[in-house]
Amino acid sequence: MNVQAENHDGVLVAKVEGRVDSSNSQDFERQLQAAIGDDIGAVVMDLGQLAYISSAGLRVVLLVAKTLGQRNVSISLCALSDPVQSVFEISGFNRIIRIHDTQADALAAAGK
């Protein structure tokens, strides 16, 4: 698992690669918090290269989304593979975190 951060005009894109499970979810949380930092207007998590996530990883996504929500920073997800999309739907997370098909869609929405 690896998180890479890119700044797109004030929107932070965090690209998550690999697998997030209960054995590395703490590392995932640390990497994500470090990537996001303090001075950011919006966050897009690009999950296009995320092969697998379990409830341990979803817990981290939820925690980060809640923290950003309290700071009035928007967060959205994009480019989920079909199995990862199913997991977000079964969790009901697709109803509390906006999910876009592509990073371009997510960036366009975040820039508004």
Partner 1 sequence: MSANLTLRIPNRVEELSAVSEAVEKLGREEDWTPDVSYAVVLALEEVATNVVRHGGGEEGAAEIEIEVVSTDTEARIEVRDSGKPFNPLHDAPEPDIDAALEDRRIGGLGVHFVRVLMDEASYLREGGRNRLTMVKRRS
The residues that touch partner 1, with contacts defined as CB under 8 A, are 19, 21-24, 52, 54-56, 58-59, 62-63, 65-66, 69, 82-83, 86-87, 90-92, 95-97
CA–CA distance, 79 with 46 (Å, rounded to integer)? 6
Strands 11-20 and 42-53: parallel
Cβ-based nearer residue to partner 1, 95 or 104 = 95
CA–CA distance, 65 with 49 (Å, rounded to integer)? 20
Which tokens is 8 given?
Answer: 């797109």
Residue 103 CB, nearest approach to partner 1 (Å): 22
Cβ-based nearer residue to partner 1, 96 or 104 = 96
Residue 9 CB, nearest approach to partner 1 (Å): 25
Cβ-based nearer residue to partner 1, 8 or 98 = 98
CA–CA distance, 66 with 58 (Å, rounded to integer)? 12
Residue 64 CB, nearest approach to partner 1 (Å): 11
Residue 79 CB, nearest approach to partner 1 (Å): 17
CA–CA distance, 59 with 106 (Å, rounded to integer)? 22
Cβ density class 97-110: b for 16+ within 10 Å, e for less? bebbeebeebbebb
Cβ-based nearer residue to partner 1, 30 or 66 = 66
